[in-house]
Amino acid sequence: MHSWPERALVMGVLNLTPDSFSDGGRFLEPSAALARAQAMIAEGADILDLGAESTRPGADPVPAEIEIARLVPVITAIRAMSDIAISVDTMKPQVARATMAAGADIWNDVSALTGAPDSLAAAAELGCGVVLMHMQGEPRTMQAEPHYDDVVREVTAALAERAQAALSAGVAREKIWLDPGIGFGKHMTRHNLPLLGSLEGIVALGFPVLLGVSRKRFIGALDDDAAADARLGGSLAAALWGVRAGIAAVRVHDVRETAQALKVWAAIEAASKNA
Ligand code: HH2
């Protein structure tokens, strides 16, 4: 291992879906998914986030059996070659159960354990890490007309409420991560930007914070409708902004570039403390 200063963790995205907004269809074949996982590990990923149901606005739901059939072979194959932390992006407790049994470590739930009546109990029983992400509405319709009176106050309060619900259900405090859910039932600029501007309040809730800004549409909205694969600069800017606010990890498509940005940031930050 290196002796560089502590830095935020990099979570690399691996979508086993035909329709995700930036990499849909590329990694449906398990061998292609495994090769991508290997590449992301080599590029500096600390965690791999595997999803088999797109949460893109307007996406259709996927049955649990299909999610499990897409995820388990890839998780088993990654586990055979690496002990990297694996998270699974799912709203279904059946999928969490099957994938944790196959060797995954973290349940990344964009519904913050509200997707099924037994989600909270399943998370407590599994003893896995849980990412509780904020979303207004559900993926299919969330971007239709998001509304908040005070987006920062409401998202922060909702995350505090979900963390408390998880604790009350028996999820251990150290297993809980929070995520403001950039782009999930939020207006591209009116809601996402104030939230990004106030991440410290979410960090102050006392749980590690994960931030997903990679290639998201608000970046295109700020830069002449740049396409998803032309949003790296904006993705890095938003990730580093988050790091400055104290987030623990970033969920990204461009692992190598993000890992490099975080290393440089951490080294300069350490030097600034010694200066
Ligand atoms: N964003 C996406 C999916 N899952 N999970 C967390 N915790 N935070 C996020 O911001 C987040 C997430 C959307 O990105 P992507 O997976 O690339 O697209 P799709 O939803 O189409 O799979």
Catalytic residue among 251, 256, 263, 273: 251
What pLDDT digit, counting tens, does each position of 148-172 carry? 999 999 999 999 999 999 999 999 9
pLDDT tens track for 196-245: 999 999 999 999 999 999 999 999 999 999 999 999 999 999 999 999 99
Q: How far is the CA of 117 from the centre of ligand 1 (A)?
A: 22
Residues 6+ apart with CB under 8 A from 117: none
Token couple for 204: 């102050």
pLDDT digits (tens, 9 = 90+) for 134-151: 999 888 888 888 999 999
Residue to substitute in 67, 215, 251 for testing ligand 1 pocket (most ligand atoms within 8 angstroms of CB)? 251
- CB of 13 shorter than 6 A to ligand 1: yes
Measured between alpha carbons, how far is residue 110 from residues 56, 63, 130, 211 in Å? 11, 16, 10, 12
pLDDT digits (tens, 9 = 90+) for 27-59: 768 889 999 999 999 999 999 999 999 888 777
SS3 content of the chain, % helix, strand, coil (to 5): 45, 15, 40
At residue 220, the pLDDT reads: 98
**How many Cα atoms are found within 13 Å in the side-chain-facing hemisphere of 248?**
16
Could you tell me the distance, in angstroms and rounded to a whole number, from the CA of residue 266 to the centre of ligand 1? 25
Is 11's pLDDT higher than 90?
yes
Distance, CA of 70 to CA of 53 (rounded, Å): 10
Query: Read out DSSP for 149-208?
Result: SSHHHHHHHHHHHHHHHHHHHT--GGGEEEE--TTSS--TTTTHHHHHHTHHHHHTTSS-
| CA 145 – ligand 1 centroid, Å | 19
Exposure string of 232-245, with b = 16+ CB inside 10 Å and e = fewer, is bebbbebbbebbeb
Please enumerate, as own/partner, the contacts of 90-94 that have beta carbons within 8 Å and a separation of 24 or more: 90/51, 90/52, 90/53, 91/53, 91/115, 91/116, 91/119, 92/64, 92/67, 92/116, 93/118, 93/119, 93/122, 93/123, 94/64, 94/68
* Residue 20 identity (one-letter amino acid): S
Q: What is the pTM of this model?
A: 0.95
User: From the CB of 131, is ligand 1 less than 6 Å away?
Assistant: yes
- Taking only the tens place, the pLDDT of each residue in 250-270 is 999 999 999 999 999 999 999
Question: Domain spanning 9-274: which CATH class is it, in words?
Answer: alpha beta
Query: How long a stretch of residues is the chain?
Result: 275
Ordered by start, the domain boundaries in the chain are 9-274
pLDDT at 22: 66
Q: Is 179 in the pocket of ligand 1 (CB under 6 A)?
A: yes
